Structure 1
Amino acid sequence: MADFPNLSRRGFLNRSAAVGGLLVVPGLLAACSKAGEGSADGEGALEKLRKQGFVRVAYADEAPYGYMEGKELKGEAPTLHREIFKALGVDELKPTLTEWDGLIPGLQAGKYDVVSAGMAITPERCANALFSEPEFISPTALMVKKGNPKKVTDLASAKEAGITVGVMAGAVEGSYAKGAGIPEGKIKTLQKPQDGADAVKGGRVDAFLLTGISLRWLAKTNEGTEVTEAFLPELDGSKQYSPGGAVFRKGNEELRDAFNRELKKIVADKSRYVELLRDYGFGATELPPATLKTADLCKG
């Protein structure tokens, strides 16, 4: 499993708990688990969804993964999940806004059927919920000034060019830069994505390192910047994929499996995948490789 690391950029950067809300007292976790035990399992759950005509999904209002624009639920996960559930005979997503650290506990408590938030697949989360196969991976990229004056394409070229690279405070990109041999004096820590874009535009850094997904989204509102082609950084010889997927309540294995069958059809069709998700900054570089399996990611 050297190629499939557990640590995701989003889990590490955005949530101090880093395990999707699993830092709860044991009694509460047990109570949440019991709350879901009486629900229909597997195929029964899917049949229930078909009869009622909708599936309850939770999102965390985080663009471009899952967010509300006006009265419309948008983003990578809702768009993909809407397509999949329609193929399964369920036409509507009924959204519930949930704080990130409440997504899995709310799922366990039966408040909704699926988490549609682009949640990273980690062993800690797998211990408390079911994940689909990966919907996407999160290759890294560099935001640079328009025209890419330093002609950088990845961390190796950034090191060779001797440029200053911006990274987010507390995020794994800092370790990627150090692992690539970029001197600490050439790594500038920033607090949030917009700070990185501002630093590039203002010349305080030559490049800002983050996932291609996030940078392409950021570039939409930051003229004078562009984003390099995405690449997979390595740490200790391991490629950093940072995959994410849909999340189901334990006991709903057959529902998860039905979802996976439709998901497989989409990720096997590159043009369809890109057409569905291009508006959210996802492209062919975000397609998960066929060898990347949730069962392996859950093992660690």
Structure 2
Amino acid sequence: MISTPKLSFLVLLLSVICHSFPTFADEDVHLDSIRKAGKIKVAIGSAPPYSMVSPTGEATGASIDLLNRALKGMGLPALSPVLLAWDALIPGLQAQQFDFVGAAVNITAEQCKVVLYSTPYYAGQAGLFVLPGNPKHLTTVAEVARRPDIKIATLPSLTTYQGNALKQGVKPEQIIVVPDVQAGAAAVIGGRVDAFVVGQFTIPDPQQKGLEVVVDEQSPVYASGTVFRKEDKAFRDEFNKQLNSLIKGGAIQELYQKYGIANAEAQAKLLTKLNKASDVVPSCE
């Protein structure tokens, strides 16, 4: 006969074991909870005309429409936006403040160690945004390294365009780091730099803003996608099925036309070659 203290210990042990198995047996637990709640909170960053939030709290933009179509295909409601600064997106996700990050976040090996990425829905090579006519005749970032008189502006991230410029031999004193796209464009127009180096599609219709874009055909292809927690792999995989179908079905061209974004065909051509994050960064899941 088992004594009461031993029996209590066995009951407790079995209880812990039994409650551990559902984590492995039911990987869709988060997705199921969203369906039951009828609401999905998604973090986004401000990047008009791709994603923006109106004063009334409504999310709009080409990327927002794309995400909502994918969610609808999964039987989920339209996203409820949580507008955050770009550097707060990943920390907020890990703190369980929302269900996933809907902003197009750069896919990097460093971040793939801690989060999961969706299929890329934005991709591009480095673009040198210069004054009309390209007065300094710039063609590649590598060329900037050979011309110490040239100055460029980049965004803060060392994992994409700024990092690539440094690897190409561009000196730190040739680089002015700006906080956002608007500041980068203003630096060129104001004559502080000769080029703003960022994704080739980052500034829609640059001619309307007094700029011209020169695509660096030698640069790597960088891509961005939505971001999920590591434990939400089943959720990410279901989302990817819908996203891949939409991209291959022409949604990018349709939405870019709707929002007046140029270069839809070039963007779509790049994206059709990318089915998952590891197509861009092999170490990503």
- State if a TM-score over 0.5 links the two structures: yes
Task: Check the 8 A contact 1:142/1:210 in 2, yes or no.
Answer: yes
Shift of the alpha carbon at 1:258?
0.9
* 1:130 and 2:113 correspond: no
Task: Check the 8 A contact 1:150/1:161 in 2, yes or no.
Answer: no
Whole-Å separation in 1 of the counterparts to 2:144 and 2:264: 23
Task: Check the 8 A contact 1:167/1:190 in 2, yes or no.
Answer: yes
**Secondary structure at 1:70 match in 2:** coil
* 1:56 and 2:56 correspond: no
Aligned to 2:273: 290
Whole-Å separation in 1 of the counterparts to 2:148 and 2:198: 19
Give 5+ residue unaligned stretches, structure 2: 1-21
- Return the letter of the residue paired with 2:123: I
- Return the letter of the residue paired with 2:150: T
TM-score, normalising length: structure 1: 0.66
Whole-Å separation in 1 of the counterparts to 2:175 and 2:110: 31
Shift of the alpha carbon at 1:151?
5.1
Q: 1:68 aligns with which of 48, 53, 74?
A: 53
Larger Rg: 2
- Return the letter of the residue paired with 2:75: G
Q: 2:178 aligns with which of 174, 191, 205?
A: 191
Tell me the C-alpha RMSD between the 2 structures: 3.8
- Return the letter of the residue paired with 1:201: I
Aligned to 2:189: 201
Aligned to 2:225: 245
| Deviation digits for residues 182-210 of structure 1 (CA, Å, limit 9, x no counterpart) | 6888x352534444433433445443322
Task: Check the 8 A contact 1:65/1:118 in 2, yes or no.
Answer: no
What pairs with 1:1-300 in structure 2 (closer than 5 Å)?
A: 42-63=27-48, 66-71=51-56, 72-75=58-61, 77-150=63-136, 152-155=138-141, 164-168=150-154, 170-172=156-158, 173-174=161-162, 176-177=164-165, 180=168, 187-192=174-179, 193-216=181-204, 219=206, 222=209, 224-229=210-215, 231=217, 233=219, 239=220, 241-269=221-249, 271-277=250-256, 279=259, 283-286=264-267, 287-288=270-271, 290=273, 293-295=276-278, 297=281, 299=283
TM-score, normalising length: structure 2: 0.68
Task: Check the 8 A contact 1:136/1:245 in 2, yes or no.
Answer: yes
Aligned to 1:28: none
| Deviation digits for residues 134-184 of structure 1 (CA, Å, limit 9, x no counterpart) | 222242112122244455444467679997342227555455446556688
Shift of the alpha carbon at 1:128?
3.0
Whole-Å separation in 1 of the counterparts to 2:199 and 2:131: 17
- Return the letter of the residue paired with 1:274: Q
| Deviation digits for residues 197-244 of structure 1 (CA, Å, limit 9, x no counterpart) | 334334454433222233337x3773x2222346451xxxxx2x3322
**Secondary structure at 2:203 match in 1:** helix
CA gap of 1:147–1:75, structure 2 versus 1, over 3 A, is: same
Q: Count residues with an aligned counterpart.
A: 253
Task: Check the 8 A contact 1:49/1:55 in 2, yes or no.
Answer: yes
- Return the letter of the residue paired with 1:288: L
Give 5+ residue unaligned stretches, structure 1: 1-36, 234-238
Whole-Å separation in 2 of the counterparts to 1:47 and 1:264: 22
- 157-166 or 117-126, larger mean C-alpha shift: 157-166
Whole-Å separation in 2 of the counterparts to 1:191 and 1:82: 31
- Whose relative contact order is higher, 1 or 2, with alpha carbons under 8 Å and at least 6 apart? 1
Whole-Å separation in 1 of the counterparts to 2:187 and 2:94: 42
Q: Percent identity, please.
A: 30
Whole-Å separation in 1 of the counterparts to 2:170 and 2:183: 21
Task: Check the 8 A contact 1:42/1:256 in 2, yes or no.
Answer: no
Whole-Å separation in 2 of the counterparts to 1:154 and 1:63: 27
- Return the letter of the residue paired with 2:54: E
CA gap of 1:171–1:232, structure 2 versus 1, over 3 A, is: farther
- Return the letter of the residue paired with 2:271: P
CA gap of 1:119–1:65, structure 2 versus 1, over 3 A, is: farther
Whole-Å separation in 2 of the counterparts to 1:110 and 1:204: 41
Whole-Å separation in 2 of the counterparts to 1:285 and 1:204: 30
CA gap of 1:41–1:112, structure 2 versus 1, over 3 A, is: farther
- Return the letter of the residue paired with 1:226: E
- Return the letter of the residue paired with 1:111: Q
